[in-house]
Structure 1
Amino acid sequence: MQYAESARDAAARWDITTPSRPGRLPGVGMAGFRDRRTDLVDLQVVPYPAVTVVVDFGDGLLVDDVSGRQQRGSAVLGLAPGSVRVHGRDIECLQMRLSPVVAHAVLGASLESGGAVVALEDLWGRDAGRTQEQLRAAASWEERFAIAEAALARRHAAGRAVDPEVGYAWRQMVASRGQVRIEQLAAEAGWSRKRLWARFRSQLGLTPKRAAQLVRFDHAAHRLAAGHSAASVAAEGGYVDQSHLHRDVMAFAGVTPTAVAAAPWLAVDDVAWAALGHASKT
């Protein structure tokens, strides 16, 4: 599989707007996107250790996944969403990246990995429609960001938090860039490995091992995109060797490390998600 356009072309085609001040809810990032061109957008999504909520302000955005499921308009992409593509013309949308710890409370459910694309309405019901109407009627991106932040904060306050032990395990995974033993996390949390595995899986949608692999992959993908060699990325990223890196990248992104290095999806990250870094920490 090849990406439809170069990373340079992808970065050049988008007007990107980010909030002028840090958000009140840790573990949340937002960015507004407007397509400068009229030709078809066709992008392969590179998995990221966060749940992504996309609110479409037009009528041309289409997201499809490996299962054949298609979602037109506003959508939620779970962790490690597998082979997901974004299509459309004249796209204008708001993207929100939620730490899985935050997403559990905000969305009211954990999203399974491996191709999960869900309509926002399926998770928020009527509240999704009301929020989208307010966002579309807003006069500026700053107003949109404020409306979205208020909606997230309201649902977060009313939602159910993850277990403190699960939140701790996630933060340690991010801090170590995925290079941490699950047995160590369980011991530090005062739980058995089996209990941590079960609670983490039910609340965040991934097993602890898969989550750590995703965080490690994310760091590796951004190092590759920054121009570092696969050999050096493997050595510093905790991979056994370059072949191990190759297998992990193929498993998450469906393409080789060389293709990930040139992925258009990553070309905008330093602009759109600079405040988040390369993983949602909270």
Structure 2
Amino acid sequence: MRTFMHGAAVWDVACPQRPSQVAGLTMAGFRVRDLDALRMVPHPAVTLLLEFGAGSPVVDCASGQQQRGSVVAGPGLGSGGAVRARGENVECVQIRVSPVIARAVLGASPADLDGAVVPLGDLWGREASRIRERLGDLSSWQDRFALTDALLARRHEAGPPVDPEVAWAWHRIVSSRGLTRVDGLAAEVGWSRKRLWSRFRSQLGLPPKRAVRLVRFDHAAHRLVAGEGAARVAADTGYADQSHLHRDVMAFTGATPATVAGEPFLAVDDVAWPSPGTTAMPHVSRPRQPG
């Protein structure tokens, strides 16, 4: 376990020694004595938070509602900067799940989350409380990661896959870091635009154009955290100019690029996730077009 220090933030962070059995799934462990109104910065993955121990995190949502304990949220959690996490003596395993495998892992499409932070018990019932108890009974972070990974691998194997055409389109968006032209995606998979847009939204939880914006923003935000200037980041990541980057960052976070560059939620990625940015993708073969 390593200590992450960034401004007033002091967190203990644990990382798995082995990669997940499931491609497209990454996790990290956190122990935070005093989590003070952490801004949730949008990320192109489904976020699954499994809490345990004596403390309990609280997520203050844009709607004014509060969610406590283990939660799940679809891609883009925190858009607009109105979602904050806080709590004392927080211990949790945070999992980032590629939208391509989220329906199988969760047992529900990310679209069913409707952009909200949802108690895990609403999806998993008693299994959510059982996993909390089992995580709390373990003393080793590696054992917690192994338990979590085994559970999610079983769910993934038993769950329904997304259409290969949808998976391919997501892969193209991610691999291009949000620079692919969405109008060409349907032609690449041999579907009509209307069909791809409908299936993509219903299975992954956001439309293709929103996915492109989110992936591009995520890449740009991590470059800002790394200390690169906004003008250079805008030029290299597909924005028309620095003002375009500024508007997009404000829309996603409610803050300026300079403020986002100092966000602990992003800065911790170098410790918690060795390859910051978009969650790793499973291998996706190109769909065969009819004819």
Q: Report TM bin, short chain.
A: over 0.9
Look up the SS of the partner of 1:162 in the other structure.
Answer: coil
Greater strand share, structure number: 2
Partner of 2:83: 84
**Cα distance in 1 between the residues matched to 2:97 and 2:202:** 17
Q: Which runs of 4+ in 1 moved over 6 A?
A: none
TM-score computed with the length of structure 1 as normaliser: 0.92
Please show how residues 1-282 of structure 1 align to structure 2 within 5 Å. 7-10=6-9, 13-35=10-32, 37=33, 39-57=34-52, 58-81=54-77, 82=79, 83-112=82-111, 115-275=115-275, 277-282=276-281
**Cα distance in 2 between the residues matched to 1:178 and 1:252:** 15
TM-score computed with the length of structure 2 as normaliser: 0.89
8 Å CA contact 1:182, 1:193 repeated in 2: no
**Cα distance in 2 between the residues matched to 1:274 and 1:258:** 23
Q: CA deviation at 1:168?
A: 0.5
Q: CA deviation at 1:42?
A: 1.5
**Cα distance in 2 between the residues matched to 1:179 and 1:108:** 31
| Matched letter for residue 16 of structure 2 | P
**Cα distance in 2 between the residues matched to 1:74 and 1:15:** 19
Q: Which runs of 5+ in 1 are unaligned?
A: 1-5
**Please, which moves more after superposition, 40-49 or 236-245?**
40-49
Name the Cα RMSD after superposition: 1.5
Look up the SS of the partner of 2:8 in the other structure.
Answer: helix
Q: CA deviation at 1:7?
A: 3.6
Q: CA deviation at 1:77?
A: 2.0
| Matched letter for residue 155 of structure 1 | R
Which whole-Å deviations, capped at 9, do the CAs of 1:73-129 have from their partners, x for residues lacking one? 111122112221001111111111111111121112233487510001111112222
8 Å CA contact 1:186, 1:196 repeated in 2: yes
**Cα distance in 1 between the residues matched to 2:223 and 2:241:** 16
8 Å CA contact 1:109, 1:203 repeated in 2: no
Q: CA deviation at 1:222?
A: 0.3
Look up the SS of the partner of 1:91 in the other structure.
Answer: strand
**Cα distance in 2 between the residues matched to 1:242 and 1:62:** 35
**Cα distance in 2 between the residues matched to 1:16 and 1:98:** 19
**Cα distance in 1 between the residues matched to 2:274 and 2:26:** 9
Residues 226 and 220 (structure 1), Cα distance of their counterparts in 2 relative to 1, 3 Å cut: same
**Cα distance in 2 between the residues matched to 1:117 and 1:34:** 21
**Cα distance in 2 between the residues matched to 1:125 and 1:160:** 19
Look up the SS of the partner of 2:110 in the other structure.
Answer: coil
